[in-house]
Amino acid sequence: MSATAAAEQPASKALRNKPSRNSITDGSTATSRTVRYLLLLLFLLFVLMPVYVVVITSFKTSADTSAADQWNLPQTWTLEPWRKAWDVLQPYLVRSLTLAVPGAIIASMIGSANGFVLARWRFPGANLVFAFILFGMFIPYQAVMLPLRTTFQELDVTRGVPTLLIAHVIYGIPICTLIFRNYYATVVPNEIIESARVDGAGLIQTYARIILPVSISGFVVTLIWQFTSIWNDFLFALFLTQQSNGPVTLGLAALSGGQKVDYAASMAGALITSFPTLFVYIVLGRWFIGGLMAGALKG
């Protein structure tokens, strides 16, 4: 064996034993992925801790609901807190459904019509009208509570679900208009509207026959948004309704009120109250992100 060949053998062995760039990259990628999953797992556990406490407390007896035992499993599992919460909340749930479902639909329909007109049918002062509509999004509930209640009293409108429905529909129009305006400005092609005009379709016919059928994603976003906002509202319910004819948030407050709080029934009531919104997200959730992102970018 020559001296040159003998010198080349250690060099070739060193090259073979040296880790490749791809293996180093794969190792760093696997490490970063592991760290990311561990962080996500920690965040998930942090978020689920209150849920765990609420769920196990809802199956406890009154003797097991002390602060020292809040992390422990029930010594005696019972459904009595759920029965008590259901008996109290049942009429409130019915009223909330009759409020949230029509309120979400009406506000979405009005916002859809406004968004279509402002996005596709330009008229003098359209931007100013749109700015005035959006201004309603930035008015906090607390700023209009007393004036709104005084207005309904002057109009001799009885406090109850109809009064609350009017307030939520009016307050939901700005956000629904914004979502649909962006949706129609980016998703619906101009050629479709121009073809309808050539065929002699007017504003109402174009909206009813062409725009509405392609607005499902936008309606999913506004319906989920409005339903959740109306269902979880407490301030409007407190000012515009009474305990005898209010929505479920007032019923939940009544369930947890009093000098001696029944924490087990309150936790069961909180879970019962959250089921309708959870059901809406499960049924419509797969269209929610797509509809939300459809109008996110303009151009």
H or E stretch at 251: helix 248-256
* CA separation for the pair 64, 77 (Å, rounded): 10
Query: Structurally, how many domains does the chain consist of?
Result: 1
CA dist 51 → 57, 255, 268, 274 (Å): 10, 19, 11, 12
Closest by CA to 121, choosing from 177, 191, 193, 224, is 193
How wide is the angle at C-alpha 19 spanned by C-alphas 14 and 25, nearest 5°?
160
In this structure, is residue 59 part of a structural domain?
no
Range of the domain at 159: 80-294
Regarding pTM above 0.85, the answer is no
pLDDT at 296: 47
Confidence at residue 141, expressed as pLDDT on a 0 to 100 scale? 81
Instruction: Give domain status of residue 23, yes or no.
Output: no
| Short-list 50, 43, 41, 46, CA closest to 71 | 50
CATH of the domain at 212: 1.10.3720.10
Q: 114 with 180: CB under 8 angstroms?
A: yes
The pLDDT, as a whole number, for residue 193 is 79
User: Does the residue 2 lie in any domain?
Assistant: no
Reading the block at residue 244, the tokens are 């005898």
Q: Tokens in use for 198?
A: 């050539």
Q: How far apart are CA 137 and CA 232, in angstroms?
A: 17
Give the per-residue pLDDT at 15. Answer: 46
User: Which residue is associated with the tokens 């008996």?
Assistant: 87
Q: Domain for residue 89, yes or no?
A: yes
In a domain, 260, yes or no: yes
**Contacting residues for 172 by C-beta, under 8 A, at least 6 apart:** 103, 104, 107, 108, 111, 222, 225, 226, 229, 230
* Domain assignment present for 32: no
Residue 154 falls within a domain, yes or no?
yes
Among residues 218, 207, 228, 225, the alpha carbon closest in space to that of 180 is found at 218
Q: Which residue in the block uniquely carries the two structure tokens 């359209």?
A: 126
Paired tokens of 228: 């959740």
Low-confidence ranges of the chain (pLDDT < 50): 6-8, 11, 15, 296-299
Confidence at residue 293, expressed as pLDDT on a 0 to 100 scale: 60
pLDDT (tens digit per residue) in 175-202 = 999 999 988 888 777 778 778 778 777 7
Q: 135 burial class (0-12, 13-18, 19+ CB within 10 angstroms)?
A: exposed
Which residues, 6+ apart, have CB-to-CB distance to 100 below 8 Å?
226, 227, 230, 231, 247, 276
290 part of a folded domain = yes
